Structure 1
Amino acid sequence: MGFATGRLTLPNAETARLSADPGAATTISPFGAHQAGVATAQQQYVTLVAADLAVTDAVSLRRFLADVSRTIVAIVRGEDTPPSSMYPDGAVTPTDFATGLSPVGLTVTVGVGPGVFALPGVAGEAPRRLRPLPEFTGDHLDPRWGGGDLLFQICADDPQVVSAATRAVRARMPGSAVIRWTQSGFLSSPHDGGTPRNMFGHKDGTSNPRIGTREFADVVWALPDEPSWFRGGTYLVFRKIRMLTASWDLTARDEQDAVIGRRRGDGAPLTGKGEFDAPDLDAVGADGTPVIAADGHIRRAHGFPMLRRSYTYDYGFLTAMAGGSPDPLKHPEDHPHAPGTKDHHHGGHGKLDVGLLFCAYGNDPDRQFIAAQTRLAENDRLNRFIQHTGSAIFAVLPGFGEDGYVGDTLV
């Protein structure tokens, strides 16, 4: 891949990103009890690649995972990808797309879907909680943006590094896997180092467990009743959430804060003074009503700890018209205007596809994400402004050592 030579190597887990400077040579080791990219400070850019397997037995799957692992080890170090017998004579690889670029915290995290365990010869028992997600009330799911046998979460602090790494992984797929869907996103970098903001202007990720704490381990890593091969793994729930920014922008600031239960300006709960103050769900106002509304988002989501590594996406006009049932574009221009506003064309903003790539890690999806989303779907004031259009779940494989490969405990 030719990212760079001469670098600082960090352990893959419970590490802070040292620098968001695209010129920095930060390298995160791919080895350890857990894969990199979970207990790693969140990078600025991501591409998620889901694929369907083309192999038909465990032997072929093992060969593919070992080949992909060699590629991952090379590119996160800033080295060239291993040679492939599929390239014809005269083909020059790598393509120099990433030549001169540092790895800048590149991680590639691999997960598997339920279908992998149907392959003949896969000896590992399926993780106990790996099953397709239900369709929740209000979902606008497009089947082309969900599911998959494999997931590659590719993150770094330079979008071109992410793109080059995606290209390197994709190059190992012919004959073994076929891309099913991809999603790409970005994360803001507030100058004060604070919590990034989403498309609605609110801080996103305030309530995450802290990397390296007992709470983090208890929330994220596989529970003791899981198959022994899955020790060190976790689950990843993916949801593509379209955010109706035009409707949101025309909503009064006080109402926006009431929808979330936090102040947009500083991220503090409506009952607190600072972003990290615990919300007081028992507090009532002078009129006797709860300060944080009964259908306020943080009240409805309270009590379901999980790790979120979510990213903003902005696809413009490209994919919003891709379908889905129910139709996500039905009545796209329904939103309030100031009294006396003349009839007008809306400029197409109702068809924009922008929002959040929601990635939730946890060790019990039934009691974490599924329970939370069921409750949110029932009565969350935020539902007026969002549409869930993609959905998938994967078991993130345990880490591997220098003499192994990702998935070596499974096949």
Structure 2
Amino acid sequence: MHRADHRPSRRTFLDVSSAMVVAGLTAGCTSDSARPGRHAPSAAAAPVPVPATGRHQAGVTLPQPAQRNLLAVVADLAAATAPGPLLAELGQTIRTLVAGTDPRLLGLPPGDLTVTVGVGPRLVRAAGASLPGATDLPRFSRERINPRERGGDLLIQICAGDALLLPVVAAALLDQAGDRIHERWRQSARRGTNVPIGNGLTAPRNPLGFIDGIVGPHTDAEQRRDLWLAGPAAVTGGTLAVLRRMELDLPRFAALSVAGQEAVFGRRRASGVPLSGGTISSGPELGAKTPDGRYLVPADAHVRRANPTVVGAGLMLRRSYSTDGPAPGLLFISFQNDLRTFTATLTHMDASDALLRYTTTTASATFLILPGFDRQHPLGSRLFG
């Protein structure tokens, strides 16, 4: 679902019960970093509630394994709107929605609902020009982006195992915000079933059929190094998010042989094993060659061009979601504690990455995902208090 120019009102959530039946939303929000020893529950298992409060906001690394459904809403603050009081209200509403006590849930159980809130560079700069998250995302090649779908002041990421919750929760939050925000665009998306990748970790397949999210900050040490912000105090415990919505040229990609598709990614489609051999969790041996001198992992393969060691950047918690529309699409979200991790990677990919030949970016934004909150410390209070 993709809708722009939406102005929230109290009528919104009253109309949503019929809208959600028509929409039949299915979307994806699956964490890429399930901890060793944790296994996905069976389809019949009741979802486990996820606390809304804590050091970090839910919806980045928690729950694990994570929900399959996502709705991202990007909005701007109206003129003269103070972000502090608005964010505090949204945080309180998130708490009541997750607890199941908000009547705007229309009787739906919240289950494993999470809501994650981020603020865009304009708001971050107003709080401090040198803060992480104050830099706008640059422009890259293969973009066809409407001005309303580039940037934004506010991100509301809603994830749940029950897809019917997504429009209901969005309507409640937009109703709470009232005329203080104006929606730019929204995107629902979904992910497939997770595939085991070893050491208790799982990753789903992306819309091109390949296992996605094999490489990332999976351990606590990696997450402290590459995912979570360690300072200044106003942002400690937060992270930086990048959203990129793309159209995919699936017919042209599907016309390749399996070997051709594998050369684009640098991994086996069925197993996820690098073309240089090993196991799915093995790092590709980028120097490995055939007897006649050809690289086993082609020079323009995605795993080579996006390799953190080659790029000289940290790890990203990467997620790819399937979207519907006039053309098949993908919603890419990455979390990292340094925006350069993303920008340097995509700059290196822009030069020569075979995967980009099959993508056109139609929306792009970056946000500071605020630190966690609780009753004593409202959402956004350390940045805008």
- Regarding TM over 0.5, the answer is yes
Quote how far apart the aligned CAs of 1:306 are.
0.8
Do residues 47 (structure 1) and 71 (structure 2) align?
A: yes
Quote how far apart the aligned CAs of 1:19 are.
3.7
Do residues 254 (structure 1) and 267 (structure 2) align?
A: no
1:57–1:183 Cα change, 3 Å = closer
Quote how far apart the aligned CAs of 1:48 are.
0.5
2:80 aligns with 56
Quote how far apart the aligned CAs of 1:125 are.
5.5
Matches within 5 A, 1:314-393: 314-315=324-325, 317=326, 352=327, 354-366=328-340, 368-393=341-366
2:273 aligns with 268
1:221 to 198, 206, 228: 228
1:147 aligns with 151
Instruction: Render the CA deviation track for 1:346-399: whole Å, top value 9, x for unaligned.
Output: xxxxxx2x2221111111111x10000001011011122111221101111111
Q: Which amino acid aligns with 2:49?
A: T
* Structure 1 Cα separation of the partners of residues 137 and 194 of structure 2: 34
1:54–1:217 Cα change, 3 Å = same
Quote how far apart the aligned CAs of 1:190 are.
4.3
CA contact (8 A) 2:217 2:227 kept: no
2:210 aligns with 202
Normalising by structure 1, what TM-score? 0.77
2:49 aligns with 27
2:116 to 94, 97, 109: 109
1:53–1:17 Cα change, 3 Å = farther
1:310 to 310, 320, 326: 320
Q: Which amino acid aligns with 1:43?
A: Q
Helix, strand or coil at the partner of 1:310:
strand
Helix, strand or coil at the partner of 1:49:
strand
2:373 aligns with 400
* Structure 2 Cα separation of the partners of residues 35 and 14 of structure 1: 17
Q: Please list every run of 5 or more consecutive structure 2 residues that lacks an aligned counterpart in the other structure.
A: 1-12, 14-32
Q: Which amino acid aligns with 1:356?
A: L
Quote how far apart the aligned CAs of 1:223 are.
4.1
Q: Which amino acid aligns with 1:75?
A: L
Q: Please list every run of 5 or more consecutive structure 1 residues that lacks an aligned counterpart in the other structure.
A: 2-12, 82-93, 318-351
Do residues 295 (structure 1) and 305 (structure 2) align?
A: no
Q: Which amino acid aligns with 1:207?
A: V
Quote how far apart the aligned CAs of 1:79 are.
2.0
Helix, strand or coil at the partner of 2:74:
strand
1:150–1:28 Cα change, 3 Å = same
Deviating more after overlay: 147-156 vs 194-203: 194-203
CA contact (8 A) 1:258 1:293 kept: yes
1:78 to 73, 76, 100: 100
1:232–1:105 Cα change, 3 Å = same
* Structure 1 Cα separation of the partners of residues 184 and 351 of structure 2: 30
2:88 to 66, 73, 95: 66
* Structure 2 Cα separation of the partners of residues 56 and 359 of structure 1: 30
1:338 aligns with none
Quote how far apart the aligned CAs of 1:64 are.
1.4
Helix, strand or coil at the partner of 1:280:
coil
* Structure 1 Cα separation of the partners of residues 158 and 306 of structure 2: 28
Do residues 279 (structure 1) and 284 (structure 2) align?
A: yes
1:378–1:125 Cα change, 3 Å = closer
Helix, strand or coil at the partner of 1:173:
helix
CA contact (8 A) 1:295 1:379 kept: yes
Q: Which amino acid aligns with 2:181?
A: A
1:291–1:95 Cα change, 3 Å = closer
CA contact (8 A) 2:195 2:204 kept: no
Quote how far apart the aligned CAs of 1:95 are.
6.6
Q: Which amino acid aligns with 1:80?
A: D
Larger radius of gyration: 1
Do residues 167 (structure 1) and 171 (structure 2) align?
A: yes
Q: Which amino acid aligns with 1:102?
A: P
Q: Which amino acid aligns with 2:57?
A: Q
2:6 aligns with none
Helix, strand or coil at the partner of 2:142:
coil
1:240 aligns with 245
* Structure 2 Cα separation of the partners of residues 22 and 112 of structure 1: 36
Deviating more after overlay: 268-277 vs 391-400: 268-277
Instruction: Render the CA deviation track for 1:185-211: whole Å, top value 9, x for unaligned.
Output: 00111476942111110111111221x
Quote how far apart the aligned CAs of 1:30 are.
1.1
Instruction: Render the CA deviation track for 1:246-265: whole Å, top value 9, x for unaligned.
Output: 10111111010001000101
Percent identical across equivalent pairs? Answer: 35
| RMSD between aligned residues | 2.3
Quote how far apart the aligned CAs of 1:309 are.
2.9
1:109–1:126 Cα change, 3 Å = farther
1:345 aligns with none
Quote how far apart the aligned CAs of 1:21 are.
4.0
Quote how far apart the aligned CAs of 1:102 are.
3.1
Quote how far apart the aligned CAs of 1:402 are.
2.4
1:339 aligns with none
